[in-house]
Amino acid sequence: MGHALHHALEPSAEYDVELTVTAGRWPDGLAGHAFLIGPAQPTTIDFMFAGPGILTYVDLATRHWRTTRVVTPDLAILAGLARTLAPAELARLMVGARPALTNVAPHFFGDRLLLTGLSQRPVEFDPVTLEFTTFLGGVSEYPEVAAHPLFPGVRTAAHPVEDLDEGCLWWCNTNLRPRGSSTTDVEGPLWVVRWDGHGEIETWYVPGAHLVQGVHEVTVTEDYVIFTEIGFQPEPGSVAGRNRTKPHLPFTDIYLVAKRDLTHGRRGRAVPVTHVRVPRESFHHFADYRQDGDDVTMYLAHSNGWDLNYALRDTDRVWGTGEAVAKGLHGFVSAPVDASPVGRYVIDGRTGDVKDSRLFLDATRHWATLLYGRDMRSPALERGRHLWQAYWGCDPDMLVTEIVELYRKHPYRVVPIEQLPVREIPSSLVCLDLETMTEQSAWSFPAGTAGESPVFVPDPAGGDG
C-alpha cells in the first residue's frame, strides 16, 4: 500500500501554512498565484468525484499555502439540513437533487475567479477571501434544467473558455435524460451559452448536436465555438459507476458552431452546426485561436479505455491475479486499460473534413491523460507552440477484471489485452512540440507517487518559465 493513490480517499483537511523547501531549490523570481481544486474526501456515496470542492491557493512569491473548503449556498443549505433532518428524511428530499459541489476547475476571467463543477452553474468566488460571490446566470436563464425544489440541476461544461477577441466566456447547457424507458441509454440537447461578465447569459439551441454522454470542455477560435462529447458513459440505472453495462463510445464527436450565427438577434433560436467524428474517446481538448482560412487546428488528449465513471468496490478483482482490490482504493476510479495518444487535427470548419491528423504516443509510458498545461498568454493561445501533457500512469493493482472486459473489444486498442502492464507505469509529464507532435522533454514522477494536471508559470524575465 505504498502508492499515493491508495491514500487519496483519506479525510481532507484545511491548511494555512508557509511552505518549507525540503529538497531542490525554489525558482528565483517566481511570482503570481496558483489555484487548485478537487473533491473533498470522504464522500457520502463512496465515489471520489462526489465530494464538495476543496480549494488550495498558493502565493508563489511568498510560498504561502492556504486550503479551504468551498462553500456555496447549496452546500450551506445541505449542511443545515443534514444537522436538522433524520437521515431517511434527508435521503427522500435529495432524490433528484443536484447541489453545486463546485469541485472540478478554477478559471480566471480577467481578475475574477470562477469555479466549476460537473452538473451546475459556474460560480464566482472572491480570489482574496475565497468566499462565494454569485452563480453565473439564474436558474431561469438556462433552457435545460432538471427540476428539484431546492437543488435544481443545471448541467454545464466544467471547463468554459474565454474569447480573446470578444472578451466574453463561452460554455454550454445540456440535460441528458433516459432514452424512453431505457436504464442504460441517455440523450439530450446542446445549448451554447455566452456571458460578457455583466447581466444575463445568452443562449442558442443547436439541434444538430445529439448528445449521449455529455460535454466537459469548450474551446474557441476566431470563427467557431467548439464542443466535444466526453468519453464518459452515464447510465440511469447506475450510481457512481456501479452495475455498469456499457463502455463509453470509442470515438470523439466534435461540434463546431460558427460565431456568425451566434448573434444577439438569434438568441434562444436554433443555429446550425458542423459535426466531425475522430477515432478514440477523449476528456480534454483545445484549439489554436487563430485559423488558416476556415481550417481549425485542434488538439485532443485521448483517453482510450480509461473509465472515470466506475467506482472500485470490495467485490472487484485485480486483473490477472484475482486478488481483491486494496481497501484503500474503494471508491476510487479504475486504472486505464490502454495507452492514450494525443492527437492534432486540422478540420475544415465549414465542411467538417479532417484535412490532417497526427498522433503522439509511446505505449510504454503514456497512460491516462490528465488535463494539459499550456502557456495562457495571448500569443501562445493564438498559435500554441508547446503543450505540457500529464499522464497518471497505470497501477496494475487498480486494473480490475470488470473494466478490462468492458473494453476488451475497443476498436482502436493500442496495447493487446494479453500485454496489459504487470508493473507500475509511473506518472509522467511530457513537453510536446505542437507543430511536429514530437517530444521535446519528459520527466517521470517517482514510483508510488502521482502527478496531477500541470500549470505553466511564465518567467517575467523572459526565460522559458
Contact by Cβ (8 Å): 98, 120: yes
Q: Indicate the SS3 state at residue 444.
A: strand
What are all long-range contacts of 91-96, with beta carbons under 8 Å and residues at least 24 apart? Answer: 93/150, 94/151, 96/146, 96/147, 96/148, 96/153
> Torsion over CA of 68, 370, 448 and 305, rounded to 10 degrees?
130
C-alpha–C-alpha distance, residues 286 and 342, integer Å = 12
pLDDT score for 151: 94
What residues pair up with 287 in beta bridges, in sequence order? 298
271, 206 contact by CB (below 8 A): yes
The residues, ordered by sequence, that sit 6+ positions from 308 with a Cβ below 8 Å of its Cβ are: 49, 232, 283, 333
Cβ(397)–Cβ(448) below 8 Å: no
DSSP symbol at 336: P
Dihedral pair phi/psi, residue 296, rounded to 5° = -110, 130
Which pLDDT score is estimated for 327? 84
Query: Can you tell me the distance from the alpha carbon of 8 to that of 351, in angstroms, rounded to the nearest whole number?
Result: 45
170 near 196, Cβ under 8 Å? no
C-alpha cell read off for 404: 478490462
The string of DSSP letters for 124-139 reads EE-TTT--EEEESS-G
CA 314 → CA 37, 50, 209, 242, 317, distances in Å? 28, 18, 39, 12, 8
Cis bond upstream, residue 454 (ω within 30): no
Sign for the CA dihedral angle at 424, 429, 435, 436 comes to negative
Residues 350-404: pLDDT tens digits?
Answer: 999 999 999 999 999 999 999 999 999 999 999 999 999 999 999 999 999 999 9
How do beta strands 295-302 and 342-348 pair? antiparallel
Please name every residue paired with 216 in a beta bridge, in sequence order, or none if there are none: none
Contact of 252 with 300, CB cutoff 8 Å: yes
Rounded to 5 degrees, what are φ and ψ at 441? -165, 165
Q: How far apart (Å, rounded) are the C-alpha atoms in residues 54 and 103?
A: 7
Helix or strand holding residue 403 (H, E): helix 401-406
Report the distance separating Cα 370 and Cα 372, nearest Å: 6
Provide the grid cell at 32: 503570481
State how far the Cα of 5 lies from the Cα of 394, in Å rounded to an integer.
11
Contact 316, 401 (CB under 8 A): yes
> What is the three-state SS of 147-163?
CCCCCCECECCCECEEC
* List of the chain residues with pLDDT < 50: 1
Give the pLDDT of residue 31: 86
Predicted local confidence at residue 387, as pLDDT: 96
* Residue 60 Ramachandran class (φ > 0 left, ψ -120 to 50 alpha, else beta): alpha
| Cβ contact 215:174 at 8 Å | yes
State which amino acid sits at residue 79.
Answer: A
Where do we find the cell 509511473?
Answer: 426
